[in-house]
Amino acid sequence: MSFAEMDVDTIWMDGEYVDWEDAQIHVLTHGLHYGTGVFEGARCYDTEKGPAIFRWDDHVERLYESCKPYEMEIDHEPAEITEATKTLIAEQDLASCYIRPIVFYGYKSLGVSPGDCPTRTAIACWPWGTYLGEDALENGIKVKVSSWRKHASSQIPTNAKTTGLYVNSLLAGEEARRNGFREAIVLNKEGNVAEGPGENIFLVRDGELYTPGLSESILDGITRNTVITLAEEMGYEVHDNVSISRGELNTADELFFTGSAAEVTPIRQVDNVEIGDGSRGPVTEEIQQRFFDVVNRRTDDHEEWFDYVDA
């Protein structure tokens, strides 16, 4: 669904609410030319208590942390960012939605050094369903190991959610889709598994979970952290600081992606190799069900993960 088809009309920019069509920047904006911006992607879920933003404090904290390598200073306190986001959701009657805060160097000069370019901040919210397709959560997806490698943290910070870095994700994802796959898996410079273009990855073997460690050039995903916590509470052994070789993907019992957009999405095929029996595996299904029970508030635990819009 395109934005033109959505019933949304307001964006918050630099402390002001502006009409959707008026949320514009200059063509010589620094962040447009050099990718000098950081962003977040969070979800708000429709619950019995009203719209609830999932792990919002963690997303806001990571937004501010992502600014540090680029010496950006957000001109707004976290409380103002939160208030603006809640207002956007409430005023546009969004029961559930995706939330995109972005911070970037704005328009003033165009050398590679941002110099005295202002730091701009904006927030948009809109309805967004299943990221990888309506059937993906139940049936799983086919993925391709990309020929494009993930950059190392010694080259560009991998723990910052930087706008410009997603050209790497675009290349990997589009290569996969051109070849008939739904999504990609990206290897790091050592040839080990890093992540998906916009997701972390988990491998299931003999009833235990494995996911690449932070030193494997991955983003420290908030949904990744959520799944680790939930899986351990369910009694699963989780190995969250490992290296996973490309070959281990082919012999996994199960694989799944996690992410704020992807949520918990099973992987049923890697390249031309069927994973398990070629469908959502039992461990993935159990963890996925537990995740959705929590985010849709069908259970009372982990209330600390939710920020209610109407509170």
Residues noted as catalytic: 161
Structure tokens belonging to residue 104: 């970037």
How far is it, in rounded angstroms, from Cα 39 to Cα 122? 9
Cβ atoms 265, 275 nearer than 8 A: no
- Please report how the helices 222-233 and 56-67 are oriented relative to each other, as an axis angle in degrees rounded to 10: 140
Phi, psi of 132 (to 5 degrees): -100, 20
96, two tokens:
């559930």
3-state secondary structure of 52: strand
Instruction: Please state the φ and ψ torsions of residue 261, each to the nearest 5 degrees.
Output: -80, -50
Specify the DSSP element, H or E, that contains 47: strand 42-47
